[in-house]
């Protein structure tokens, strides 16, 4: 990975920086932004970090997470360099018509806009955090524990803690260096994966009890329900259901994982996930929803029995005959 | 980690080797054993790998897993060097009174027996696989893809794919080298975490239904049961229970996760996991078992109600007063 010389030069030259990342930020957006801010501060720069949604509760553990502000100083922005990190679209940032000195995009998503006077986009990079790591190296800033924890979190979140296909030898070597710099990998993982509330766990068990595996043609679907009663009984809420959809996927033979979540009486939000070539966006479209090939969703109203049967029929119609 | 010179010398000198590991083998026992066998074969040695329980279905993907036999050639053993890997107790191997030329123990568990003419025990090593990696380096055998996948699996299983406290910079650097040697980390993780059978999933749900959260002093424990009826109803077997212990740990407030698995009527294998400074090996010792600070186990006989109460009392006695 080659860090553009012009970014390094610009940082050396300028004094005021504003770092922004996307709405609903996760570990990569936050960790990469904060690590960059800390490095710039060590170079005596004036830095503001902005995220429209602020820092979600589960990421409060990131050192210097209090740097992230959910309001932006537009006067200050006028004479600042704007770093757009982990996205390349101001709509995803939630920032309209910013007036600033110049815009630098640092992202690892496939480019969709032409935002940025300087655009550094590495679709092959597993995480924006890995790009920031390389940038900090070029800036000759010492990676202290605070920076290391932010970079480690960024990298682990976007590689599923080294479980995804994008886990390269470079990622593992950088991780080793960050642990040398003071990261406690067990502690970071605890924060990321072992911070469920008891209520969330109870809802999880209730949801798993409803999993039914349905065979339609050559497709196996695991279908689950979370109704309003289950929320009431467990004390959990909708935000607790994030990630639940990944669990039925653990079953080898399951091609599609679906959860129906009741958001008001008789109204259901269907989340669909699939493996490999199974395109669930076709099914979501059928019900007026949308999404991508392996992750899609739709809303539907009715008796849960009918709603589940409707999904199975749609799977049969659109996929089983492939 | 210093590899004992006498083990290297012995390997150079001897011709016949038998490698054994513990009953209910997991990725570390199997990966370490197979990697050692492959390295010895590359040094033109005659090797047998024995595991009384054979290779569980989920580990069939390990290259050369077919080397592992569930029967041992006792005649051949008489003139062989016996390597006892990932345990240091022949009872755990399920091998009675073996007649052999000499016994070498390579283990990372706290020692409990005096087995072995040569004893190499590294309680600080995250995995037996990491010890075997260092041994293979000393043997100057090239780590090919087959050896690398076995070592990578061994190391990842015993570090929770780099999520546990025992994830050291060395572990991550060795993992990087193994990926360089041809391991596909995404593929290994899919085999380990997304290859559940439907029966295993059903047993998982049954087990989760039994989870009870018990508060003793300042310690919260999540205690679950898997009895013989549950195996019968779901069609799953003991090897399917690997990893189950990690799920109740996801709850933020849980310090200790415990599962009692009935292996014959009224006989239970207790598996304990803890977070941070909570030392479950003390509890296991109390019941005549053993293990590490954060992962230990013991066997116990009795009514499940009594057995669960016994654990809670032991937690109270040994830990709550810290």
Which pLDDT band, with edges at 50, 70 and 90, does A240 fall under? confident
Query: Terminus-to-terminus CA distance in chain A, angstroms?
Result: 40
For A68-92, the pLDDT digits (tens) are 999 999 999 999 999 999 998 899 8
Is the CATH number 3.10.310.30 carried by domain A200-318?
A: yes
Q: Which CATH number fits domain B5-193: 3.40.50.2000, 2.60.120.10, 3.90.1640.10, 1.10.15.40?
A: 3.90.1640.10
Per DSSP, helices labelled H in chain A are 5-13, 27-42, 74-78, 90-93, 128-138, 145-158, 169-180, 185-193, 198-209, 228-234, 281-286, 304-318
- For the residues A241-263, what does the mean pLDDT come to? 90
Q: What is the pLDDT of residues B174-225, one digit of tens each?
A: 999 999 999 999 999 989 988 899 999 999 999 999 999 999 988 999 999 9
pLDDT at A262 over 80: yes
Contacts of B173 in chain A (CB under 8 A): 172-173, 176
Determine whether the interchain pair A196/B251 forms a contact, defined as Cβ–Cβ distance below 8 Å: yes
Q: What is the mean pLDDT of residues B125-151?
A: 98
Residue B252 in contact with partner chain A when CB distance is under 8 A: yes
Mean pLDDT on A285-314: 91
- Residue A322: the pLDDT is 52
pLDDT-based confidence at B57, cuts 50/70/90? Answer: confident
Does B189 contact A249 at a Cβ distance shorter than 8 Å?
no
Query: Would you say how long chain B is, in residues?
Result: 322
Q: Show residues of chain B in contact with A167, CB under 8 Å.
A: 179, 185-186
B172–A194: do the CB atoms touch at under 8 Å? no
Q: Which residues fall within 8 angstroms of residue A308, CB to CB, at 6 or more apart?
A: A212, A223, A225, A260
Give the residue with greater pLDDT, B292 vs A95.
A95
Per residue in A139-166, pLDDT (tens digit) is 999 999 999 999 999 999 999 899 988 8
> Nearest CB to A161: which of B162, B198, B204?
B162
Report the range out of A53-57, A318-322, B72-76, B276-280 with the highest average pLDDT: B72-76
Terminal-to-terminal C-alpha distance of chain B? 32
CB-nearest partner of A252 from B175, B196, B208: B196
**How close A209 gets to chain B, by Cα (Å)?**
7
The CATH classification number of B198-320 equals 3.10.310.30
| Gap from A138 CA to chain B (nearest CA, Å) | 22
Q: What is the pTM of this model?
A: 0.85
Q: Which of A223, A221, A318, A310 is nearest to A279 (CA)?
A: A318
| Cβ contact A167–B160 (<8 Å) | no
Question: Does B320 have pLDDT greater than 70?
Answer: no
- pLDDT in the model for residue B163: 93
Q: Is B209 on the interface with A (CB under 8 A)?
A: yes
Any idea where the domains of chain B sit in the sequence?
A: 5-193, 198-320
A57 lies within 8 A of chain B by CB: no
Asked if A5-193 and A200-318 have one fold, the answer is no
pLDDT given for residue A321 in this prediction: 53
């Amino acid at each position: 990975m080659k860090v553009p010389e012009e970014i390094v030069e610009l940082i050396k030259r300028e004094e005021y920086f504003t770092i922004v990342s996307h709405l609903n930020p996760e570990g990569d957006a936050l960790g990469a932004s904060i690590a960059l801010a800390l490095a710039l501060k060590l170079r005596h720069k004036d830095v503001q970090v902005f995220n429209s949604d602020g820092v979600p509760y589960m990421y409060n553990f990131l050192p210097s997470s209090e740097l992230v502000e959910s309001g932006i100083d537009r006067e200050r922005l006028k004479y600042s360099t704007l770093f757009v990190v982990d996205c390349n679209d101001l709509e995803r940032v939630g920032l309209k018509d910013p007036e600033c000195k110049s815009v630098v995009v640092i992202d690892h998503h496939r480019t969709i806009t032409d935002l940025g006077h300087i655009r550094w986009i590495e679709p092959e990079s597993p995480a924006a955090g890995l790009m920031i790591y390389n940038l900090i190296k070029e800036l000759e800033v010492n990676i202290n524990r605070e920076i290391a924890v932010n970079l480690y979190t960024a990298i682990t979140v976007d590689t599923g803690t080294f479980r995804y296909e994008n886990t390269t030898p470079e990622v593992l070597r950088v991780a080793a260096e960050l642990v040398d710099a003071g990261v406690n990998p067990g502690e970071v993982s605890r924060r990321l994966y072992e911070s469920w509330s008891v209520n969330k766990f109870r809802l999880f068990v209730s949801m798993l009890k409803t999993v039914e595996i349905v065979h339609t043609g050559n497709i196996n679907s695991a279908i689950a329900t979370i109704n309003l009663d289950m929320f009431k009984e467990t004390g959990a809420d909708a935000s607790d259901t994030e990630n639940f959809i990944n669990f039925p996927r653990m079953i080898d033979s399951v091609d599609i994982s679906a959860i129906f979540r009741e958001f008001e009486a008789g109204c259901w939000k269907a989340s669909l996930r699939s493996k490999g070539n199974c395109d669930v966006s076709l099914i979501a479209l059928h019900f007026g929803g949308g999404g991508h090939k392996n992750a899609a969703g739709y809303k539907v109203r009715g008796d849960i029995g009918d709603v589940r049967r409707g999904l199975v029929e749609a799977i049969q119609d659109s996929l089983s005959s492939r």
